[in-house]
Chains A and B, each alone.
Chain A
């Protein structure tokens, strides 16, 4: 037995002992939560069997979690409950007296078609279901993006550059508005694909990328707070709820 293996057995022994002691002192549930938290944090040092364990457990359990959720929250009330209400009356009594909706056969059929792709011969038929989903969203996207991302944003940018306030001309606000206006125009120039970024056009594109970079820096800096808060939350769990070191 080499040194590395010996070390890993020692660590395993420590983890097991700590786990048992923790269960005795703090209870089972909080211990499980705390150890899984530590397992994930151990990835920061390097990949290791404990992280692998937590990762694989997480993947399997979460996939099943959403499957069950989908079944009880969508299939039962919205598919079976509408196709034939008495069938799910035991689970969702509120639906008992609703009329049956034969139209719900369509998603049932499309759903089964989708599952056909598990067969190598009839796999192509699953594309019908796919086409349905893609088509629905494509149509929706066309108008939605045009309205909220295009027309609305242009509308928001149409404002007066020259700003006055109670005491007359407001230099600061005017400069800000000019910068927003120029920034939007230069930003749009940067995104031109079919024109070479040369001359005045190139200068506009370069200004555009400057504005983009300032924005990216600012967003990055702003997010630090949110991420630290999350870490504080985990530390409060470990040192407070579990170890009881925070009053």
Chain B
């Protein structure tokens, strides 16, 4: 029961998914649509597990007065305000003032700023890593510099740089990406295959 049922289920469901790919009949398409719908719904149930874990960890910190426990109160406050404003029926359907404004004036600015930190990190990473230590590192450096130079106006030299940059993106870039993608395709297929036949079962735990 503990292992056999899930493994059988994996096999049956995945086999169905493979078959429906080759058979264009209505009935299979209908079932396929259902299966995809179901996975999304189960995913929402799982969010409850997540919220529970977040509550458990935060509450634990507060109770034990662990380091930085005060901030866990902030987490829980954010959680509850957002849940209450998002769930109160009548206010519901997400069109309520508090919920929307929390999204646009709290979540969005933080999210956009976190994202923009990348501008700083990409610079410091470039400074540190783009050094001609070896042939491979020099190639990395060279290609990166050529592409970056493209954005700097330099009169007649610009066209030469733009052509070279375009060529790098079109030729070696294309070749390498294809090789990586073919490899990924094979690896993903092999993993899917191993899952189907229960060879790869680490995701089910061991006991």
Contacts and interface: CB of A to CB of B under 8 A. Distances in A.
A117 to B, nearest CB: 7
A139 B120 CA distance: 41
B107 A61 contact: yes
A243 interface: no
A106 to B, nearest CB: 6
Contacts of B144: 217-218, 220-221
B148 A78 contact: no
A179 B83 CA distance: 56
Contacts of A169: none
Interface in A173-188: 176, 179-184, 186-188
Interface residues of B, number: 126
Q: Chain A interface mostly helix, strand, loop or mixed?
A: helix
B13 A231 contact: no
B169 to A, nearest CB: 6
A146 B185 contact: yes
Interface stretch (A1-9, A13-21, A32-40, A195-203): A32-40
B44 interface: yes
Nearest to A114: B45
Nearest to B9: A131
Given A63-B50, A183-B175, A129 B79 contact: no
B51 to A, nearest CB: 6
A33 B110 CA distance: 8
Interface string A211-226: 1111111111111110
Contacts of B172: 179, 183, 211, 214-215, 218
A118 to B, nearest CB: 7
Contact of A211 (B50, B79, B176, B188): B176
B34 A138 contact: no
B158 to A, nearest CB: 15
A215 B173 contact: yes
A111 interface: yes
A149 B21 CA distance: 16
B181 interface: yes
Q: Chain B interface mostly helix, strand, loop or mixed?
A: helix
Contacts of B119: 227-228, 230-231
Contact of B54 (A54, A60, A108, A191): A60
A162 interface: no
Q: Which of A73, A114, A153, A179 has the largest count of B CB atoms less than 10 A from its CB?
A: A153
A68 interface: yes
A150 to B, nearest CB: 4
Given A213-B140, A227-B118, A112 B45 contact: yes
Interface string B114-150: 1111111011001000100001110111111111100
Interface string B178-204: 111111111011011101100000011
Nearest to B179: A187
Contacts of B65: none
7 contacts: A58-B107, A107-B37, A111-B45, A183-B172, A212-B180, A218-B143, A220-B140
Interface of A: 29-30, 32-34, 36-37, 40-41, 43-44, 52-75, 78-79, 91, 103-104, 106-108, 110-112, 114-115, 117-118, 124, 127-143, 145-146, 148-150, 153-154, 156-157, 176, 179-184, 186-188, 190-191, 208-225, 227-228, 230-231, 233-234, 237
Closest 6 CB pairs of A and B: A187-B179, A183-B175, A139-B17, A149-B185, A68-B86, A60-B78
